[in-house]
Amino acid sequence: MSARLPFEEHVRRALDSLPPDLARALSNVAVVVVEQDPDDPDLLGLWESAEFMPDKITIFRRPLIESFPDPAELEREIRITVLHELAHYFG
């Protein structure tokens, strides 16, 4: 990860890389970045859905940064994690 590019910007780029038709199909989804899951510190991402609430995709910063110290590999893994969690949204 470049020192000039914050972690959240990598997540934003992954979302911006979605094909337009797929991006338009997203509705009522929140994507958030948090340090790590307290119950599973190795978890990279999580999709949650609850009735009458927006779907939520959480990307966990610490396990990604610690698992992928190479900046190019980290950026790729952030994108993979974002897309993996979005796949849950689309079923």
Which 8-state DSSP code applies to residue 17?
Answer: T
Mean pLDDT, the chain, rounded, equals: 92
Non-local CB neighbours of 26 within 8 Å, separated by 6+ positions: 18, 86, 89
Quick: pLDDT tens for 31-54: 999 999 999 999 999 999 999 999
CA-nearest of 69, 68, 62 to 33 is: 62
- CA–CA distances in Å: residue 50 to residues 32, 36, 54, 73, 89: 16, 21, 7, 33, 12
Q: φ and ψ at 7, to 5 degrees? A: -50, -45
| pLDDT above 90 as % of the chain | 88
On the question of pLDDT at 23 being above 50, the answer is yes
